[in-house]
Amino acid sequence: MQIKDYWVIVTKRWWIFVLMVAITSVSAYVYSKSQIPIFRSTATLMITPGRIDYGQTLVGQNLLRQLVRVIESTQLTSKVGESFDLGGGQLRSKIKVSAVPEDMVIQVDAYDPDPGIAQNIARAVADAFIANQQVRMAPLQSTERINAELLDQPLPGVLDYPKTKVTVIAAAILGLLIGGIVAFVLEYLDDTIKSAEDVQRYVALPSIGSIPTITTAEARRAR
């Protein structure tokens, strides 16, 4: 098939594309709006060595993953969870902790249907970790310590889920693909002859004439 043949199929069965896009987009929109919204608030922790040199910086970067585990530990999450009437496991399910070694930063993301609670959880987890780190580093000399401080105060949560716009756009693209499959399948199954090109394609013989379609208005004018 040539490009013009594909274009003919698209223009002939355009309503299938429109129908599929409408169905998938509306379905995605309704599904998205039926979900419980989840908000995300972020606290950023900066990790700094007590002595600024290459070796100590490498030690701090290697410790970042361990510090992430400390934040996610049952001991810390259970302590913070008491303030929100949550167990350690429940609180842990509401946070995501990730390290950025090249920036010496730990990011704590808190998730909750209430943007204010998400903000409070992020701040509480960050404060609890800073206090914990101060206790752990207290026996060491100041130059040997790995310090933690809050770089960015968490703000009220922003909508993280569902992302209605992205979902609807993705569903519309899926609708186009489904519409294309349906249109080309119907065209493949349609073996009726409608044009001179169809005659040549199916019977390999040239057409020598055709009977035009006469509309009612044209028939009246002819009479």
Sequence ranges of the domains in the chain: 3-34+164-222, 38-159
Q: Looking at residue 50, what is its pLDDT? A: 73
**Residue 155 to residues 42, 68, 87, 123: CA-CA distances in angstroms?**
7, 21, 24, 9
38-159: CATH, from 3.30.70.1130, 3.30.590.20, 3.40.50.2000, 3.40.630.30: 3.30.70.1130
Q: Looking at residue 195, what is its pLDDT? A: 65
State the pLDDT confidence band at 194, using cuts at 50, 70 and 90: low
Q: Is 51 helix (H, G, I), strand (E, B) or coil?
A: coil
Q: What is the DSSP letter of 120?
A: H
**Residue 211 to residues 8, 164, 200, 222, 223: CA-CA distances in angstroms?**
21, 53, 16, 16, 18
Q: When comparing pLDDT for 206 and 82, which is higher?
A: 82
Rounded to the nearest 10 degrees, the angle between the axes of helix 74-81 and helix 54-72 is 60
Rounded to the nearest 10 degrees, the angle between the axes of helix 164-189 and helix 14-34 is 150
- pLDDT tens-digit profile of 76-98? 999 999 989 888 789 999 999 99
Q: Looking at residue 186, what is its pLDDT? A: 87
Q: Is the pLDDT of residue 215 over 70?
A: no
State the pLDDT confidence band at 7, using cuts at 50, 70 and 90: confident
State the pLDDT confidence band at 60, using cuts at 50, 70 and 90: low
The C-alpha atoms of residue 15 and residue 160 are separated, in whole angstroms, by 35
- The pTM of this model reads 0.74
State the pLDDT confidence band at 10, using cuts at 50, 70 and 90: confident
Percent of the chain with pLDDT over 90: 54
Lowest mean pLDDT among 63-67, 124-128, 206-210: 206-210
